[in-house]
């Protein structure tokens, strides 16, 4: 039987090591993209986005028609609950790390701060991204996948 799909490489046993919050945020800040998870029509929605880490907060850019922009705008002063995940896992060796942050997302409304984020964070999409969303982490979890020594 032949297949056009690449076959997974055999891997040895792996161990999952918990990361502390500081190390998890440091790793998250070392990559430029992740996935935001929020609720839309009472169901989970996931979007890939690029981000930056600013004083422990995750900042992403968004646009007027985005579901997240709408959700963050409609939320009361508390913000909207979101999860954010980023990782760097080698697809062949299955080694690396994954970090998940859960917290509240708020639209950035202060003009100077918004202008700063527009300068620092260039969105992937070729459309106007006039909004920024700040995620304040409440729960930070992370794992590092390492090979088990023989």
Q: Is residue 35 part of a domain?
A: yes
59 forms beta bridges with: 52, 134
- Of 32, 74, 68, the closest CA to residue 52 belongs to 32
Q: Is residue 11 part of a domain?
A: no
- Of 73, 89, 78, 47, the closest CA to residue 130 belongs to 73
Q: Is residue 149 part of a domain?
A: no
pLDDT of residue 16 exceeding 90, the answer is yes
Q: What confidence score (pLDDT) does residue 75 get?
A: 66
Q: Which residue has the higher pLDDT, 69 or 132?
A: 132
- Of 54, 67, 65, the closest CA to residue 108 belongs to 54
Question: Tens digit of pLDDT for each residue in 43-98?
Answer: 999 999 999 999 999 999 988 777 788 777 776 677 889 999 999 999 888 899 99
**Count of CB atoms situated within 10 Å of the CB of 79:** 18
Q: Is residue 115 part of a domain?
A: yes
Q: Is residue 29 part of a domain?
A: yes
pLDDT of residue 130 exceeding 90, the answer is no
Q: Which among 13-17, 37-41, 141-145 has the top mean pLDDT? A: 141-145
**Count of CB atoms situated within 10 Å of the CB of 26:** 14
Q: Is residue 4 part of a domain?
A: no
pLDDT of residue 100 exceeding 80, the answer is yes
- The parent domain of residue 69 ranges over 17-144
Average pLDDT in the 97-119 region?
A: 94
Count of domains observed in the chain: 1
Q: What is the CATH number of the domain that holds 117?
A: 2.30.110.10
Q: What confidence score (pLDDT) does residue 29 get?
A: 96
Q: Which residue has the higher pLDDT, 7 or 37?
A: 37
Q: What confidence score (pLDDT) does residue 53 get?
A: 96
């Amino acid at each position: 039987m032949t297949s056009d799909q690449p076959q997974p490489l055999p891997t040895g046993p792996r161990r999952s090591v918990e990361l502390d919050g500081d190390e998890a945020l440091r790793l998250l800040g070392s990559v430029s993209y992740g996935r935001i998870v929020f609720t839309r029509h009472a169901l989970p929605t996931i979007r890939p986005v690029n981000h930056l880490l600013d004083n422990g907060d995750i900042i992403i850019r968004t646009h007027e028609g985005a579901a997240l922009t709408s959700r963050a705008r409609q939320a009361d002063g508390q913000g909207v609950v979101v999860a954010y995940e980023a990782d760097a896992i080698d697809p062949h060796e299955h080694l690396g790390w994954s970090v998940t942050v859960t917290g509240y997302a708020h639209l950035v409304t202060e003009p100077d701060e918004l202008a700063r984020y527009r300068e620092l964070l260039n969105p992937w999409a070729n459309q106007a991204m006039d909004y920024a969303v700040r995620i304040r982490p409440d729960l930070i979890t992370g794992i590092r996948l390492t090979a088990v020594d023989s």
